A and B are shown apart, each in its own frame.
Chain A
Amino acid sequence: MMTLAQTVDLQVVVNGQRVEATVPPRLLLVDLLRDRLGLTGTHVGCDTSNCGACTVLLDGFAVKSCTVLAVQADGREVTSIEGLAPDGQLHPVQQAFWDNHGLQCGFCTPGMIMAAVDLVEHEEELTDEKIRHGIAGNLCRCTGYNSIVQSIAAAAAAGAVDGKGRQ
């Protein structure tokens, strides 16, 4: 029988910390992060899986958290932009964006950086073409793509990072 009041208990490791929550199945991952955990670095742009502003890492791979149910992250590891610099020291990809003017207004930046971390960690020989293909799901309304691509290339050149998004 259907019970509209169904909730699900879940455990997620968010930015290295174990989080337990009781949520309705329809709660989106982005809403778990922003509304329940206060991690508002993950932005909601289009809310339709187009713009990529909500990109986070799920077990190390970039996903659009507006198109993932929180329950899908149960038992898994989520890394949001806040998890990249836990001690205040910029992650190499963040540093590369800083050094190469990889942001203008900054709205797309958290998603862009999380997408970039997935690329830098998992793709070998990150050519410009691979970078552009890899961030095709992230829109920058300032259209600052060239600097973004340069930032990601610089991060890749600066060295590999580990599977948790930290060097």
Chain B
Amino acid sequence: MSMLIRSVAVAALLGALAPAAPALAQQHQHPAAAGSIALSPAWTRATPPGAKVAGGFFTIENKGAAADRLVSATSEIANIVEIHEMAVIDGVMRMRALEKGLSVAAGGKMELKPGSYHIMFIDLKRPLKEGESVKGELVFEKAGKLAVDYKVMPVGAPNAGMNHKH
């Protein structure tokens, strides 16, 4: 229950802050406009029937002079979207929600990829079909909102490459 209250509180806080963030940034000396964040083509994978979750992947490039942070994400296909970290350590798969989001250093890159950081689509509204595109939005602390289109790759695709042979 306290988890739910906290989630709601965080969501409310983010909702309140998100529109204000770009405005604040613009008043700053070096505005971290959405232009300072570049995204590689985003992708996800077709889901097996009955799957309630999927992972979203892309690389964030921060061309700005200040560090920025991906604080939240939404998508038309999922009721809940979280930013997760995943790793296989000593043969054990571990996954964590990053409640503070994902920081990208000034001039740095952050890769969201299978087996690592990813966008987690939870409570999918419908299965994802190979070949379609699904819309989403990312919210950065400084750069604000960015629209993102996830291309749906085959089940088991290792990356966004189009030359996957399966």
Q: Does A pair with B?
A: no
A interface residues, Cβ below 8 angstroms from B: none
B interface residues, Cβ below 8 angstroms from A: none
